[in-house]
């Protein structure tokens, strides 16, 4: 089964919303591609627990990926092969597909040496041992919406020499589209030019999230946790991204704070690229 963000366990568990660990984050990124008669899913987990990472490397815990569409499938993953290949006849992406990465014990696990737990467990951890097959952690849920052409793509760049302005933003059916009048405005001539596009991406996110608030807010607040998932494909991507980053509410006044949580240091990477370019000129 896939565990929701507020699942409760009678022992310490690692997730992005759990309070069991002082620093508790377990995030999954999924790359998806079609390869002939197969769907291929590539998984990139990041976590804050060295304790669980050590168990994984020792073979005392294992990654299990859960893929849920019309039915639910479980796949054990090797640390050296974090991907799953599925024949298309075994799975349909025409429906909403949810993916979660879980960490499961392959041996009895004692927590007395786990120094990463919150203070609540200081007196309890010496008596905590979980059995083989116990859940040790679960990631965010990555969702693919059936019918999407590009389920992981949030931005699309287009070149239009007839554009009456230098740059134009458009909220498309499932992407934020950035139109450029010429290629120079995409910084393709600069090393690490993609980072120079980050202010454009930031602006596009702000426009899309502003519309999100205008469309779904009640009393000027969007309750991300309890709202019905949007039917609009672009809004659904934004909704999924915010849920994965544990954003619970969205308002006009907090757009920048939310962008900071979901955008992987867009501005910081832009500033670093500018500083590097200036240093290289010297």
Give yes or no: residues 102 and 185 share one domain: no
* Residue 87 CA to its chain's centroid (Å): 25
Q: Which of 111, 144, 177 is the last residue of a domain?
A: 144
Q: Which of 144, 170, 186 is the last residue of a domain?
A: 144
| Residue closest to 233 by CA, chosen among 96, 102, 121 | 96
155-159 and 176-180 strand pairing = parallel
**Furthest CA-CA distance within the chain:** 70
Residue 7 lies in a domain: no
Number of domains in the chain: 2
Residue 116 lies in a domain: yes
Q: What is the CATH number of the domain that holds 33?
A: 2.60.40.10
Give yes or no: residues 177 and 206 share one domain: yes
Give yes or no: residues 120 and 159 share one domain: no
Give yes or no: residues 41 and 88 share one domain: yes
Residue 176 lies in a domain: yes
Alpha carbon distance 218, 227 (integer Å): 10
Residue 202 lies in a domain: yes
The CB density around residue 258, as the number of other CB atoms within 10 Å, is: 24
Alpha carbon distance 156, 178 (integer Å): 6
**Where do we find the tokens 């010429």?**
182
pLDDT at position 191? 63
Which tokens belong to 169? 């933003």
Statement: the pTM of the whole predicted model exceeds 0.75: no
* Residue 227 CA to its chain's centroid (Å): 19
Alpha carbon distance 88, 92 (integer Å): 7
pLDDT in tens, the chain (282 residues): 888 766 789 999 999 888 899 988 898 988 877 777 788 889 999 999 999 999 999 999 999 999 987 778 899 999 988 999 888 777 766 567 889 999 999 999 999 999 999 999 999 999 999 999 999 999 988 877 655 556 568 899 999 999 999 999 999 988 999 999 988 887 766 666 678 888 999 999 999 999 999 999 999 999 998 888 888 889 988 998 888 788 899 999 999 999 998 887 888 888 888 888 788 775
Give yes or no: residues 73 and 93 share one domain: yes
Domain residues for the domain of 275 are 155-281
pLDDT at position 202? 94
Residue 15 lies in a domain: no
pLDDT at position 147? 54
Give yes or no: residues 59 and 164 share one domain: no
Give yes or no: residues 178 and 140 share one domain: no
Give yes or no: residues 103 and 206 share one domain: no
For the sheet containing 167-171, what is the strand order? Answer: 155-159, 176-180, 167-171
With 0-12 / 13-18 / 19 or more C-beta atoms within 10 angstroms meaning exposed / middle / buried, residue 55 is: buried
Half-sphere exposure in the Cβ direction for 77 (13 Å, CA): 25
Give yes or no: residues 69 and 176 share one domain: no
Tell me, letter by letter, the H, E, C secondary structure of the chain.
Answer: CCCCCCCCCCCCCECCCCCCECCCCEEEEEEEEEECCEEEEEEEEEECCHHHHHHHHHCCEEEEEEEECCCEEEEEEECCECEEEEEHHHCCCCCCEEEEEEEEECCCEECCCCCCECHHHCCCHHHCEECCCCEEEECCCEEECCCCCCCCCCEEEEECCCCCCCEEEEECCCCEEEEECCHHHHCCCCCCHHHHCHHHHHHHHHHHHHHHHHHHCECCEEECCCCCCCCCHHHHHHHHHHHHCCCCEECHHHHHHHHHHHCCCHHHHHHHHHHHHHHHHC
Residue 90 lies in a domain: yes
Q: Which of 79, 111, 144 is the last residue of a domain?
A: 144
Give yes or no: residues 180 and 99 share one domain: no
Give yes or no: residues 170 and 228 share one domain: yes
Give yes or no: residues 66 and 170 share one domain: no
């Amino acid at each position: 089964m896939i565990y929701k963000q507020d699942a409760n366990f009678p022992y310490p568990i690692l997730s992005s919303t759990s309070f069991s660990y002082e620093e508790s984050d377990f995030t999954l990124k999924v790359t998806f591609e079609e390869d002939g008669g197969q769907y291929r899913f590539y998984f990139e987990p990041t976590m804050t627990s060295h304790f669980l990472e050590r168990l994984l490397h020792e073979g005392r815990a294992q990654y299990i990926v859960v893929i849920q569409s019309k039915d639910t499938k479980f796949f054990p993953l090797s640390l050296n092969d974090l991907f799953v290949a599925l024949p298309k006849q075994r799975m349909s992406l025409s429906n909403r597909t949810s993916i979660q990465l879980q960490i499961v014990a392959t041996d009895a696990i004692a927590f007395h040496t786990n120094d990463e737990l919150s203070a609540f467990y200081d007196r309890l951890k010496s008596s905590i041992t979980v059995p083989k097959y116990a859940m040790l952690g679960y990631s965010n849920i990555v969702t693919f919406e059936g019918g999407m052409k590009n389920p992981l793509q949030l931005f699309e760049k287009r070149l239009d020499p007839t554009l009456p302005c230098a740059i134009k933003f458009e909220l498309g059916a499932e992407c934020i589209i950035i139109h450029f009048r010429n290629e120079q405005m995409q910084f393709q001539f600069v090393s690490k030019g993609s980072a120079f596009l980050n202010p454009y991406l930031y602006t596009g996110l702000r426009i899309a999230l502003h519309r999100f608030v205008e469309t779904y807010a009640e009393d000027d607040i969007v309750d991300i946790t309890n709202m019905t998932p949007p039917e609009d494909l672009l809004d659904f991507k934004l909704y999924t991204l915010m849920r994965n980053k544990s954003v619970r509410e969205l308002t006009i006044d907090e757009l920048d704070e939310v962008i900071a949580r979901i955008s992987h240091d867009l501005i910081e990477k832009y500033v670093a690229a500018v500083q590097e370019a200036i240093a290289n000129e010297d």
